[in-house]
Chain A
């Protein structure tokens, strides 16, 4: 047997992921006096969080004093179609303002209103202006601020211990492949350095997953390369459960060309400011896609639609601004019927609608995005756009207050955690989610460590097994017929995109599941050349296992949920069903992560005082009569 060298480290808390949630969790764990590691797949400070532009939702009420946590809570529950974990939504709404302010004490500076208070902007689904922001680079500023906070803590530790890394150490470009348990509890994590390919073992009683999402399982996604569902898969293999995996948020307009930017978001603002969707014949096709439920609410002629931009009282709005899923469905149909643009999308035209200087003034970031990344001048040419996978609502099932999963010692925060957003996330609720639950995860992990009577230990056999599994892609099959990891990845992405994408139906999901069985079998024969030093082919081979497992969860849950709700649209079950409102689909897997099992489970009923925050007439749209029997609006009847 090959002897493998494994570097060993001891920590109290190991945080996997260095985006907003991971950094906030690590800061908290360190402030609670715990020796903390941050393990990051990318370079430190380069997390996907930097892409978040809109802002961070927090009901400070600076712009409209009527805003408060109750309004934010209601908006969040509505957005999620009442499938949210209500306790998470409550904690989030209550704590977000304090977390935003806390970032300012770390040195961030959010944009100000004219009188110098933290400014807040409007966003879809939020009743009042609520998003604290730093221009259109709020995520970048949050990451930068917390990165600086970490440097300050390390310099404090140097003063006290003579070692910058005495209490808080960052492991950049380091990927965790296995979680290791001692009995039923977390005992450690096995990882490799991306640059040298060498192995590491973290001995730790507590792990916080903060690994983000799963977008790289889809062909067209706004997500960056790290989003391969690592935390989701690690949790499953460790015996934890995932919920809400059928809910994936797609945005109808992403860039489709060139390949390096495929999937990057094109803001809804383009359509709000007059941009219209056209097919290859130049037809404004959205007029043919107004569904019955919206008939009468949208303009039926181009003339009326064009009148709406300047006179909204006397005109109905253009169908280019139908809800996201309707727009995406229409684009899908046009492309499938052969009326798409050269690179498989449709055209979004603002050039023929507004003067060039007006476009540059209203949409500066879009102008630059297309100019610099696609060499398209949007003041002169149409853009090519298509639906793109943006965010996964599903994730690790956690205790809302501590973020603990069902496995003792395993915590999760941010996009990798499930429940907070229910079936659909509101824009702006993600950055706030990261800092509210990032902090709670650090605190939850620290409290858990304090409660332990005995440190768990890592068995050597587990380390050997993890090492051998990690190097297995270098073993070429005896007949030399190896599979290329890029080929399997491309086929997986194509299949998930086409068959479990924005619009779903039974036979297509079934086809995707059959394809997953085939890909899983072929993935056993993946082999790569070269050595372990910075070898992206090898890295992808290891990520593939995670993507295959997580994709199976998405597909199986999507097949089971026979309704349409939020980020899950079934062509064969187009309406929302109140009998599905209180049901969670819970995913688990075997230890090797070779198959996923999905079962149904009832959701805990909302606490009475929270339920009372809603009008009965609104609840009646979502709840069954039995569930509402105790509401004060009915109790008197």
Chain B
């Protein structure tokens, strides 16, 4: 018979702050429910982030028993009596479960994450919207990789990125792949230089931590593989 309480251990920045909590079990119970219960009944000052509550914004990412997950959609199973919650790996801790996501976004900005229209195309407000058949091979490559919510779960679960070993990380490389594949974009060569440089795709050891962690079901490891092959002019 599982207990009516859940014990939660939270890594705190202040060694004197309470770190072990017991909260009443509700059914079902998400990790976010447990954190909110701690905040309301034990310690209003406990630091964690959340926003949309439905896995759309990517704000509440933490590590639960070592796995990088969104707190809002990670259930505490009926037979789980104790969980441990840690801040994401590879990013500086600001307080408790709150990390500085700047390194993650710096990597993202480094791959020129925006569309650069080609010079020869008619661009700008006077042009016509691109006519793009939805079933083209190009869109079939791109569309499954677009859903990134910037939660950094992949970054935290990547053994290379989280060890701060000068690696752009899975999310940034996934974004680079999307734009390299987009026929409207003209910065592909520049982007391939960036992802082919020292902190790029060659750092990936194909551990697939990123793909396993992605709460939106993206496959950044596959994107990295595509980029590697693209560098040699090959196809996936």
Contacts and interface: CB of A to CB of B under 8 A. Distances in A.
B149 interface: yes
Contacts of A450: none
A107 interface: yes
A123 B26 CA distance: 37
Interface residues of B, number: 60
B58 interface: yes
Given A106-B114, A533-B47, 19 more contacts: A45-B150, A46-B51, A46-B59, A101-B129, A105-B127, A107-B114, A112-B132, A134-B146, A137-B147, A148-B114, A151-B109, A155-B112, A261-B54, A528-B45, A530-B45, A534-B94, A534-B96, A536-B47, A538-B45
Interface string B119-146: 0000111010111111000000000001
Contacts of A9: none
A97 B52 CA distance: 28
A101 B125 CA distance: 7
Given A105-B125, A258-B26, A140 B44 contact: no
Contact of B125 (A51, A98, A152, A529): A98
A199 B131 CA distance: 49
Interface string A213-239: 000000000001110000000000000
B81 interface: no
B191 to A, nearest CB: 13
A47 to B, nearest CB: 8
A259 interface: yes
Nearest to A485: B44
B56 A373 contact: no
A621 B182 CA distance: 51
A624 interface: no
A537 B44 contact: yes
Interface in B82-141: 94-96, 98, 100-101, 105, 109, 112-117, 123-125, 127, 129-134
A116 B36 contact: no
B44 A529 contact: yes
Nearest to B34: A260
Nearest to B95: A534
A573 B152 CA distance: 52
12 contacts: A43-B49, A47-B57, A104-B130, A106-B114, A114-B134, A195-B98, A258-B29, A261-B54, A534-B47, A536-B45, A537-B44, A538-B45
A39 B127 CA distance: 33
Given A44-B105, A195-B94, A116 B131 contact: yes
Interface size class of chain A, counting residues whose CB lies under 8 Å from the partner chain: 35 or more
Contact of A224 (B51, B55, B96): B51
B72 interface: yes
B55 A109 contact: no
B39 interface: yes
Q: Which 8 A-B pairs have the closest CB atoms?
A: A107-B115, A537-B44, A530-B45, A375-B28, A148-B114, A116-B131, A534-B47, A534-B95
A51 B133 CA distance: 27
Contacts of A114: 133-134
B53 A43 contact: no
A114 B132 CA distance: 9
B73 A373 contact: yes
A99 to B, nearest CB: 10
A111 interface: yes
Contact of B44 (A115, A144, A528): A528
A103 to B, nearest CB: 10
